[in-house]
Structure 1
Amino acid sequence: MKMKSALVTGTILAGLAGMTQAETMKIGITQNNVGVDSYQTTYEKAFIEAAEANENVEAVVLDAGGDVARQIAQIEDLIQQDVDAIIIWPTNGEAVIPAVRKAFQADIPVIVTNSNIAEQGFDFVKSFSGPDNITQGARSAEIMCDKFKEMGIETEAQVVHITGQPGYTTAIERAKGFEDRLPEVCPDVTIVDTQPGDWNREKSQQVMEAFLVKYDDIDGVYAGDDNMGVGALNAAKAAGRDDIIFVGATNFAVGYESMAAGDYWGSIYQSPVDDAKAALNTAVDVLSGEDVPFLNYFDTPKITQDNMDEFSKPVF
């Protein structure tokens, strides 16, 4: 008997706790783009390890390679496989909604991981497991503002903003958090330009090179993750600009190392291992009849050169 069918009636649900020892939960996951950065690579490895460690879980692990059409096809394939639950790391928060609706109509619970889908799809989702990206963006703004105040330039500083993949919920939310919070804490700081870096270090370096040509006065750079932030830092170093404050999110090992070297000021600490385990645990809890919050956030604290000794170097 499959776990999904075991959830049909209240009588069976009441006995589910005892049955889970014998039942196998077939959980499929379709990820965004494992090869694009080390965070997603580490997440996949941690997810597989967590699934293998749970004798009641059979995992089907897929990667969309950043292709929305491929991810939609993967969701439809998982529905055809009649999996018990689907975890989706969406390539695009709006485009995947019709496929998520199909899973909902097939009575397959969907858990969204890391980056949420657009709000109009919330009715088709059991839970979101991941970071609060708006809060992350807001915390990055606070980090940058505090540093500008320490430097005495909070009334005149100019900032450029490098965002993640367009249409990707994490990129949208981190940008919103930063751009909404910065004027609240540092109302005289100006964001002079915003361009996407697509989570890619090389592209972000090119974006920063263009910024440096276009603007004589850049005091700060906010990047939607450290991979992009270090790309921007590399451009600044090549141009001999060591006077710029760099703040990112999702503290990568390269960001941590750059902070230790005194080149990169701050970020937001987030573990892909915790992210992966939380997603799997959320799916298991849903299938086991547990009461799971719709927004199942894990904390992501501020990290700067001042407090980085309190944090371990990221493994990704």
Structure 2
Amino acid sequence: MVSILGACSKNETSKNDTNASKSEENKDNKSKDTTTSKKEKFKIVMVAKHEGIPWFDDMRLGVNDFGEKYADLVEAKQIAPEGGDPAKQVQMVEDLIAQGVDAIIVVPNDPQSMKPVLQKAKDKGIITISHEATNLTDVVDYDIEAFKNEDFGRLMFENLATAMEGKGKFVAMVGGLTMQTHMEWYNAGMEYLAENYPEMEAVSDQPYEDKNDDTIARDKALEILKAYPDIKGFVGTSVSSGSNFAAVLKEKNRKDVAVVSLGIPSVSSAYINEGYMNHAQCWRPADVGYASCAAALKILQGDTIDNDTNLEAPGYENIVIDEEKKIIYGDAPMILKEGQYEDGNYPF
């Protein structure tokens, strides 16, 4: 009996030891699986121009939507510098390189200052995508645009000419002289006016800048109207420029200056409806934020991106690629019209 009990005890101990060993092994495996799972998620980060302004708040929605849809595959987020500081933006990219993220998408304040750090990211094997920076294609995998910038600029200045009846003095303002897209719109528009409307005259050789800042834009608007009381038109390539110029005209009860600008529905619609802004155009930031992340994921997964690839956002379902320049074009311009959002239900 003692022998039998001893054997049973021995067997039970052995069984318990085996179960405990298996339990520890399962725990270790589970821990390893969890760690592996976390490592397998691609980290995609959008580095936008400016923190805390409606345009890039909307872009964050698209990035977050993408992250939620593909939560099993990616961790996607957006960051941006306060005040749109180019140096801070470069440092953010440096930090992401140090963190070893898988893809960096950037909307640069100053493409030239961003170039060396994006080359560094590319050398580290990080996927790099730009937006509003077609001159960065030698250091990124792709630049993605909502449309061809020349077409967008001509459309803006064509509407200015129509509102001014093709003659008179006007003022132009950009977010910054280093902002490539703003300058491409401005240069294409000025070229269009020179070819088609010789009686229209810009009051300065280069545009004013507002740094995408409402306070600066308002101060510039007051300065311009004081210096050039006889101007007939104003064109702005930033949301701040057009909305603040329209706001100052409203305060002065002036509807004799045609205002054409980049705009967003929640800011520009009221001025359009009240007659202080003649035309506003844009594209949906959330959509390009989503499409940029979709392009990054495809590259990370080894998929081919070519003409007609669907990046799953409105206007980017059938993209067109300039393979030589490595630019992805969507077809996503958005024109804001009078009475379009009378219910106040703005998309952004």
Distance 2:236 2:49 in 1: 19
Aligned position for 2:54 = 38
Aligned position for 2:143 = 128
1:141 aligns with 2:157: yes
Aligned position for 2:256 = 243
Closer/same/farther in 2, CA of residues 77 and 305 from structure 1, 3 Å limit: closer
Aligned position for 1:298 = 330
Distance 2:345 2:258 in 1: 21
Closer/same/farther in 2, CA of residues 187 and 218 from structure 1, 3 Å limit: same
- Shifted more, 102-111 versus 248-257: the winner is 248-257
Aligned position for 1:25 = 42
Mapping for residues 12-161 of structure 1, pairs under 5 Å = 23-35=40-52, 37-54=53-70, 55-65=72-82, 66-113=84-131, 115-116=132-133, 119=135, 121-131=136-146, 132-149=148-165, 154=166, 156-161=167-172
Q: Which amino acid aligns with 1:29?
A: M
Report if the CA contact (8 A) 1:162-1:197 is conserved.
yes
Structure 2 segments unaligned to the other structure (5+ residues): 1-38, 307-320
Report if the CA contact (8 A) 1:270-1:300 is conserved.
yes
Closer/same/farther in 2, CA of residues 274 and 60 from structure 1, 3 Å limit: closer
Which structure has the larger Rg?
A: 2
Report if the CA contact (8 A) 2:63-2:77 is conserved.
no
Tell me which of the two structures has the higher relative contact order, counting C-alpha pairs closer than 8 angstroms and 6 or more residues apart: 1
Aligned position for 2:218 = 205
Distance 1:307 1:140 in 2: 20
Superimposed CA distance per residue, residues 76-127 of structure 1 (whole angstroms, 9 cap, x where no aligned partner):
22222222211112121100111001011112120012x216x2x4221111
Percent identical: 22
Q: How far did residue 241 of structure 1 move?
A: 2.0
Structure 1 segments unaligned to the other structure (5+ residues): 1-21
Q: How far did residue 314 of structure 1 move?
A: 4.3
Superimposed CA distance per residue, residues 242-272 of structure 1 (whole angstroms, 9 cap, x where no aligned partner):
2111101243422122112222111213111
Superimposed CA distance per residue, residues 144-176 of structure 1 (whole angstroms, 9 cap, x where no aligned partner):
122333xxxx2x311111111231223222222
Closer/same/farther in 2, CA of residues 261 and 307 from structure 1, 3 Å limit: closer
* Aligned length, in residue pairs: 286
Closer/same/farther in 2, CA of residues 291 and 305 from structure 1, 3 Å limit: closer
Report if the CA contact (8 A) 2:137-2:143 is conserved.
no
Q: How far did residue 228 of structure 1 move?
A: 1.7
Q: Which amino acid aligns with 1:40?
A: F
User: Which secondary structure state, in structure 2, belongs to the residue aligned with residue 259 of structure 1?
Assistant: helix
TM-score between the two structures when normalised by the length of structure 1: 0.82
Mapping for residues 171-190 of structure 1, pairs under 5 Å = 171-190=182-201
Mapping for residues 244-259 of structure 1, pairs under 5 Å = 244-259=257-272
Closer/same/farther in 2, CA of residues 237 and 296 from structure 1, 3 Å limit: same
Distance 2:339 2:160 in 1: 15
Superimposed CA distance per residue, residues 214-249 of structure 1 (whole angstroms, 9 cap, x where no aligned partner):
113111110113332110112222233221111012
Distance 2:231 2:222 in 1: 12
Q: How far did residue 305 of structure 1 move?
A: 4.2
Q: Which amino acid aligns with 2:116?
A: P
Name the Cα RMSD after superposition. Answer: 2.5
Distance 1:46 1:60 in 2: 10
Q: How far did residue 301 of structure 1 move?
A: 3.5
1:285 aligns with 2:298: yes
Aligned position for 2:282 = 269
Mapping for residues 228-239 of structure 1, pairs under 5 Å = 228-239=241-252
Q: Which amino acid aligns with 1:27?
A: I
